[in-house]
Structure 1
Amino acid sequence: MSISGITNTATSGMLAQQKRVANIANNVANVDTPGYQRLNTNLSSTTPSGVAATTTVSDTPASTPDTSNVDLLDEMTGLIGSEHAFAANAKVFETGADMWDMLMSIKRD
């Protein structure tokens, strides 16, 4: 894999986590909205490398008609997972950028 491929993969991972966090924020904001259906974020790999995020509406019914089907514990757990995944992708991106810098310094010499 090339250095640009590494940074592109990390970028797609960060964008996917950004979408996941946006969906979590939407779910938390609507936790008390009657009839609100939770948004799910589905992550899938792309060709040749990377991650794509799609949003679907949950089909799990709420416990009562005047509530939503959002569980705050699940949302906070998802948020922690997104934080770690974003940080890991950011570190990969930073490493790729450092590799570019090293390559450019070698080329100049």
Structure 2
Amino acid sequence: MSIASITGIALSGINAQTNRLAAVADNIANADTPDYRRQTVSLASTSDPAGVETTVTSGPEGVDLATEMLELTEAELGYKANAAMFEAGADLWDVLATIKRD
């Protein structure tokens, strides 16, 4: 696995969590809208290129704010984990650049 792959996978994960956050925001904003169908985001791994793929679907009517807060927390943790992985990849690039200069 290359460093570019690591950062690409991390970026894919960041985008996936951003999609989850957008769905949660829509659900919370429309919690009191009659006949609103809750949006859910499914995550799936991809192999070429490696990363995460998201699919947004409409679920049952009604929004439970406790469920949305749980989704929000999960998305936040996923985002932070992917951001840390991206930073680690960027740090590896810096180390390689330093080695090449010396």
TM-score range, shorter chain: over 0.9
Partner residue in 1 for 2:25 = 25
Residues paired across the two proteins, number: 101
User: 5+ residue gaps in structure 1?
Assistant: 63-68
Structure with the larger helix share: 2
User: 5+ residue gaps in structure 2?
Assistant: none
Q: Deviations over 1:48-93 (max 9, x none)?
A: 42101110011x2x4xxxxxx1110000000000000000000000
Partner residue in 2 for 1:66 = none
1:71 aligns with 2:64: yes
What TM-score, normalized by structure 1, do the two folds share?
0.90
Q: Tell me the C-alpha RMSD between the 2 structures.
A: 0.7
1:38-57 alignment runs, 5 A limit: 38-48=38-48, 49-57=50-58
Give the deviation of 1:11 after TM superposition: 0.1
Task: Give every structure 1 segment of 4 or more consecutive aligned residues whose post-TM-superposition deviation is greater than 4 Å.
Answer: none
What TM-score, normalized by structure 2, do the two folds share?
0.96
